[in-house]
Amino acid sequence: MTTKTETMDYDEVLERFDPVLGLEVHVELSTRTKMFCGCPNAFGGEPNTHVCPTCLGLPGALPVVNGSAVESAIRIGLGLNCEIAGWCRFARKNYFYPDMPKNFQTSQYDEPIAFDGYLDVELGDGETVRVGIERAHMEEDTGKSLHVGGATGRIHGADYSLLDYNRAGVPLIEIVTKPITGAGRRAPEVARAYVTALRDLLRAMGVSDVRMDQGSLRCDANVSLSPKGDEAFGTRSETKNVNSLRSVERAVRYEMTRQATLLSRGERVVQETRHFQEADGTTSAGRPKETSEDYRYFPEPDLVPIAPSSAWVEELRSTLPELPWERRRRIQQEWQLTDEELRDLVNTGAADVVAATVDAGAPVDDARSWWVQFLTEQANSRGVDLADLPVTPAQVARVIALISEGTLTNKLGREVVLGVLAGEGDPDEVIASRGLEVVSDDSALTAAIDEALAAQPDVVEKIRGGKVQAAGAIVGAVMKATQGQADAKRVRELILQRCGAE
Amino acid sequence: MDPTTRTAAELAAGIHSGELSSVEVTRSHLERIAKVDSEINAFLHVETEGALATAEKVDADIAAGRRPASPLAGVPLGLKDVLTTKGIPTTCGSRTLEGWIPPYDATVTRKLREADVVVLGKTNMDEFAMGSSTENSAYGPTRNPWDTTRVPGGSSGGSAAALAAFQAPVTVGTDTGGSVRQPGALTGTVGVKPTYGGVSRYGLVAFSSSLDQAGPCARTVLDAALLHEVIGGHDPMDSTSLNAPVPPVVEAARRGASGDLRGLRVGVVTELGGEGYQPGVLRSFAAAVDTLRELGAEVAEVSCPNFEYALSAYYLIAPSECSSNLARFDAMRYGLRVADDGTNGADDVMSLSREAGFGAEVKRRIIIGTYALSAGYYDAYYGSAQKVRSLVTRDFDAAYDQVDVLVSPTAPTTAFRVGERVDDPMSMYRADLCTIPTNLAGTAAMSVPSGLSDEDGLPVGLQIMAPALADDRMYEVGAAYERARDAAAGGALADRIPEL
């Protein structure tokens, strides 16, 4: 039996329903060590090499709270305008899963470290929406399962599974919004803008590398629909596996349409976890949540309560770095941008990276042109957000500096950045390994010039006869022979010199 | 003289002066284990080579004129099999950990190694420390050396029986609801539950994290004190470890031996006695209180009304924590794994392995705890139990405003027969009636033998309780009492243990 699903038109969805969103974002903190042990907190690594008795959950091993993770949690809470708890505890969330070493996750339940805040989110047209923050709490990440065999890549149907506990115990902050209502048509856009703003905030605070593609920032989107004018929330679905900003927007929109279609046919929305499919922008059913899992939360007896003193909280508040909205206000003034120019910069995702590049020593115009042109092209061709490109503002600033001091040409600079994007290391490493430095050694150049001059005696005659612009042909030949690594200006000078036409 | 009948303090003095060799002392204990353990079953693993290697090192140090690493350097010891030992099997008395060799040492183990204490092996216990008779061990029950048809108490029954059978002069046990003190009472030995946080729990395989505490077991109060100072102290690896110096328990035990308790206020807990207690136990207790009075203590009766609810609260809190703590035994990383024949998924392998690996009492507590923490029941069970816990703590606080130490019988009865209570969990649970309140409050307590019950000739224990971090206070009282008791009886209680 195959029934073709007639999906409802988006306009009709909005005529009949009001969407309600709830966004849960998990952020991996970039602390040096894990949440409850001294193992390195590093992405990747040979499987099961960043582990110890504690993060493997060996019998008898105990957790000890990572102080800098608590500090990051408080900073995040402050950045989100939250109240910071004067006293709070960890709790155990009990459920069985092979990649969770203790079969409980040490998390926070009814006593989060930060609660009741908001984040102001700017949409593409400059309109600002205030998203309420329910809570931000600390917890540990699980390990990773690799299910081998089977069609779905999930545990059911797999032949066997491989477990890597390197990620087990990595510090996470879970940030949960209050229900976002009234966004209407713009709900998908609000969702994306919220995650974007949150990512920019976390990056500015330096607490996480916020890479959606590597899972250091993960978003679960809860979506429900209420019939127009009905106050009560509908049944929600929770979509996971939303790995880019674009996917956040697509997933919300898809779920709105899917649910509206079901409801309009008189069917009901099943409360369940759904998985976003990047390829076609749809979601598919996962674990049903009808019988809501009972996690049997209780206060973690292995850890003492956390009671951040108000003096410490105030110190952290006073040492918060410049936050994205403050930075935008500042750059608008300093760079004398109109509202629209600033918004363009923000909407392409370039504002913060440009500013950071400028902070790293690059001139504003160079920084802007690199990010808005070359790097935006690179991001688009890779289908990632500008800020998720694997190149840092500091690396871009370094390339700009090398160009301005003549070590690199613009063309070589672009090649260096491509090397960085390919994971070959810092600009200087790429230059060394690819041998990209401008050939500034005159003796190496003169050999190439003499060869080119000997090959084109007619041109030499023209130059000697005063037609200096004819030198261009020789310059081209020399640049070709040196594979573009010569400084064209210097080549020209040398040609003229050797032809006695200075 | 046979080294196995001597105290740890005497052995240490002999070894450190060069008069005894640690190797000889260790050998005689290993021989004693070989001779009697088929009957007692106190040891789950004997670490002959490791023990002799440590003993040789100590002898070499002494011969070379180097200072011993600690006051117990060279003295043999038994370690409850719930503390991890790198390279040495750790089973927790469970089938599920059969053959597991930990890759790391518990902090207690590390401290013993650093102190050059000779670890003879790992002692038997109720599975995951759940039980009061050591009958819940997957490796067979431990027998009471006073009468091998009887249990030695539990869960640290192996550690207590090893002392009474002269297999070791000192052992380490763990006490969650009385698991060191009650076996001490039933075997006529000393068992100490230090202040919660006084001894690191790192590497102590958790039963109930908020209650578990490792403590010293010995045949004398001074020996217990010597071991207490070796294993105690702050540990950054255990966030519930107290950042405070170890109370001066050795000094207190030595001072107590002078036998002067004038000015000490002793409270007899009204609620811990009377109906349901074996008459011989109550008579032994009354005599002990008289002795304290004769030593100069002022004795008063103190009421702790909420102790009545302590047992019920304990049997909700401990199983709740246990249900979560034991979730990790899922066959995925270590331990028994069954049914992994390619036809079962991970969920089934987990369930079937747990089914095969855990004994009946462990399963009972996991089920009780899972239920008590369930949505809809949490407030009624776990939540109420936590309130009782606060009330019990308040009772202690009020009592310690009036008196310096509290006393009670350690257990309501003397040692019961093997098999007698296995089908009646409630009567088994009642064995910890007097010891549980201290665990709930996180304070300190010890059991010191108060002689033999006049009706069955079996040992009885006197429980001495003290406020948090006042462990030294109970050692002083315990040592004074011990000396007076031995003087009155014309010799140490241990001398009256029947020949095996």
- Is the backbone of residue B213 left (phi > 0), alpha (psi -120 to 50) or beta? beta
Residue of A nearest to B97 (CA): A59
Q: Do A62 and B378 touch (CB under 8 A)?
A: no
Q: Are residues A262 and A384 in the same domain?
A: no
- Checking if the pLDDT of A402 tops 50, the result is yes
* CB A95 within 8 Å of CB A125: no
Dist CA A208 CA B165 (whole Å): 59
> Quick one: which of B326, B336, B329, B331 has its CA closest to B346?
B331
Q: Point out which residues pair with A33 in neighbouring strands.
A: A40
Q: Do B324 and A303 touch (CB under 8 A)?
A: no
Which residue is listed with tokens 């790192």? Answer: B202
Q: Point out which residues pair with B122 in neighbouring strands.
A: B45, B79
Question: Which domain, by its residues, includes A299?
Answer: 4-312
What's the rounded mean pLDDT across residues A347-353?
Answer: 82
- Checking if the pLDDT of A161 tops 50, the result is yes
Dist CA A448 CA A436 (whole Å): 17
Residue of B nearest to A297 (CA): B373
Residue of A nearest to B100 (CA): A59
> For residue range B209-267, what is the model confidence (pLDDT) as tens digits?
999 999 999 999 999 999 999 999 999 999 999 999 999 999 999 999 998 999 999 99
Dist CA A21 CA A121 (whole Å): 15
> For residue range B54-66, what is the model confidence (pLDDT) as tens digits?
999 999 999 999 9
* Amino acid residing at B263: G
Residue of A nearest to B326 (CA): A102
Q: Are residues A278 and A345 in the same domain?
A: no
Q: Are residues A263 and A344 in the same domain?
A: no
Higher pLDDT, A61 or A484: A61
What's the rounded mean pLDDT across residues A138-142?
Answer: 97
Question: How far, CA to CA in Å, does A191 sit from each of A17, A207, A273?
Answer: 17, 22, 18
Min distance B46 CA to chain A CA atoms (Å)? 21
Question: How far, CA to CA in Å, does B454 sit from each of A145, A384, B276, B279, B460?
Answer: 63, 84, 17, 9, 10
Dist CA A272 CA A292 (whole Å): 9
What's the rounded mean pLDDT across residues B273-283?
Answer: 94
Give the pLDDT band (50/70/90) at residue B42.
very high
- Checking if the pLDDT of A365 tops 50, the result is yes
What's the rounded mean pLDDT across residues A270-282?
Answer: 92
- Out of A62, A98, A301, the one facing B237 most closely (by C-beta) is A62
Q: Are residues A238 and A369 in the same domain?
A: no
- Out of A60, A104, A304, the one facing B239 most closely (by C-beta) is A304
Count of the separate structural domains present in chain A: 3
Tell me: ipTM over 0.85: yes
Question: Which domain, by its residues, includes B442?
Answer: 3-307+389-496
Q: Do B237 and A56 touch (CB under 8 A)?
A: no
Question: Residue B411 domain-assigned?
Answer: yes
Residue of B nearest to A292 (CA): B375
Q: Do B330 and A53 touch (CB under 8 A)?
A: no
Which residues have CB under 8 Å from A104's CB, separation 6+?
Answer: A92, A93, A94, A95, B324, B327
Six token digits for residue B208? 């109930």
Query: Which run of H or E residues covers position B312?
Result: helix B310-325
Dist CA B339 CA B346 (whole Å): 10
Q: Are residues A378 and A414 in the same domain?
A: yes
- Checking if the pLDDT of A409 tops 90, the result is no
Dist CA A196 CA A245 (whole Å): 7
What pLDDT does B361 receive? Answer: 97
Which residues in chain A are closer than 8 Å to B320, comparing Cβ atoms?
298
CATH of the domain at A477: 1.10.10.410
Which residues have CB under 8 Å from A400's CB, separation 6+?
Answer: A357, A362, A363, A366, A367, A370, A413
Which residues have CB under 8 Å from B6's CB, separation 6+?
Answer: B14, B169
Which residue is listed with tokens 């929330």? Answer: A233
Q: Is B155 a catalytic residue?
A: yes
Is the CB of B97 inside 8 Å of chain A's CB atoms?
Answer: yes
Q: Do A296 and B324 touch (CB under 8 A)?
A: yes
- Checking if the pLDDT of A231 tops 90, the result is no
Dist CA A132 CA B376 (whole Å): 29
Q: Strand runs (DSSP E) across B25-150, as ranges? A: 43-46, 76-80, 118-123
Q: Is B179 a catalytic residue?
A: yes
Which residues in chain A are closer than 8 Å to B201, comparing Cβ atoms?
62
Collapsed DSSP state (helix, strand, coil) of residue B464:
strand
Question: Residue B297 domain-assigned?
Answer: yes
CATH of the domain at B259: 3.90.1300.10
Global pTM value: 0.88
- Out of A96, A101, A302, the one facing B240 most closely (by C-beta) is A302
- Out of B84, B328, B370, the one facing A296 most closely (by C-beta) is B370
- Checking if the pLDDT of B339 tops 80, the result is yes
Question: Residue B314 domain-assigned?
Answer: no
> Quick one: which of B314, B305, B320 has its CA closest to B432?
B314
Question: Residue B14 domain-assigned?
Answer: yes
Dist CA A295 CA B101 (whole Å): 31
Question: Residue B67 domain-assigned?
Answer: yes
Taking each continuous run of H as one helix and of E as one strand, the counts in chain A are 17, 14
Min distance B439 CA to chain A CA atoms (Å)? 14
What pLDDT does A311 receive? Answer: 97
Question: Residue B312 domain-assigned?
Answer: no
Count of the separate structural domains present in chain B: 1
Which residues in chain A are closer than 8 Å to B98, comparing Cβ atoms?
none
Among the options B22, B179, B284, B320, which is catalytic?
A: B179
- Out of A65, A96, A294, the one facing B239 most closely (by C-beta) is A65
Question: Residue B375 domain-assigned?
Answer: no
Question: How far, CA to CA in Å, does B348 sit from each of A94, A97, A142, A226?
Answer: 18, 12, 21, 40
Question: Residue B212 domain-assigned?
Answer: yes
Chain centroid to CA B176: how far? 9
Question: Residue A317 domain-assigned?
Answer: no
What pLDDT does B9 receive? Answer: 98
Among the options B21, B28, B155, B200, which is catalytic?
A: B155
Which residues in chain A are closer than 8 Å to B83, comparing Cβ atoms?
60
Is the CB of B374 inside 8 Å of chain A's CB atoms?
Answer: yes
- Out of B103, B347, B370, the one facing A53 most closely (by C-beta) is B103
Q: Do A302 and B239 touch (CB under 8 A)?
A: yes
Single out the residue in A282, A312, A342 at which a domain terminates. Answer: A312
What pLDDT does B163 receive? Answer: 98
Q: Point out which residues pair with B191 in neighbouring strands.
A: B217, B447
CB atoms within 10 A of CB A9: 12
Optimal mutation site among B234, B322, B332, interface A, most CBs of chain A within 10 A: B332
What pLDDT does B335 receive? Answer: 95
Q: What is the CA radius of gyration of chain A?
A: 28
Q: Do A59 and B106 touch (CB under 8 A)?
A: no
Cβ under 8 Å to A: B residues 234-253? 236-240
Question: Residue A318 domain-assigned?
Answer: no
Is the CB of B452 inside 8 Å of chain A's CB atoms?
Answer: no
Dist CA A220 CA B490 (whole Å): 76
Question: How far, CA to CA in Å, does B489 sit from each of A152, B282, B451?
Answer: 77, 18, 8
Q: Are residues A423 and A493 in the same domain?
A: no
Q: Are residues A220 and A335 in the same domain?
A: no
Min distance A107 CA to chain B CA atoms (Å)? 14
Single out the residue in A312, A334, A350 at which a domain terminates. Answer: A312
Taking each continuous run of H as one helix and of E as one strand, the counts in chain B are 16, 11
Task: Quote the Cα angle for A373-A377-A378, to 5°.
Answer: 120
Of the listed ranges A283-292, A446-455, B82-91, B128-137, the least confidently predicted one is A283-292
- Checking if the pLDDT of A2 tops 50, the result is no
Q: Are strands B170-175 and B76-80 parallel, antiparallel or unpaired?
A: parallel
What pLDDT does A500 receive? Answer: 76
* CB B323 within 8 Å of CB B365: yes
What pLDDT does A5 receive? Answer: 59
Which residues in chain A are closer than 8 Å to B348, comparing Cβ atoms?
none
Give the pLDDT band (50/70/90) at residue A432.
confident
Question: Residue A319 domain-assigned?
Answer: no
- Checking if the pLDDT of B193 tops 90, the result is yes
Q: Report the interhelical angle of B471-489 vs B279-294 (nearest 10°).
A: 100
- Out of A59, A296, A301, the one facing B97 most closely (by C-beta) is A59
> Quick one: which of B387, B409, B398, B389 has its CA closest to B303?
B398
Among the options B80, B111, B122, B193, which is catalytic?
A: B80
Question: Residue A36 domain-assigned?
Answer: yes
Q: Do B346 and A104 touch (CB under 8 A)?
A: no
Dist CA A420 CA A217 (whole Å): 22
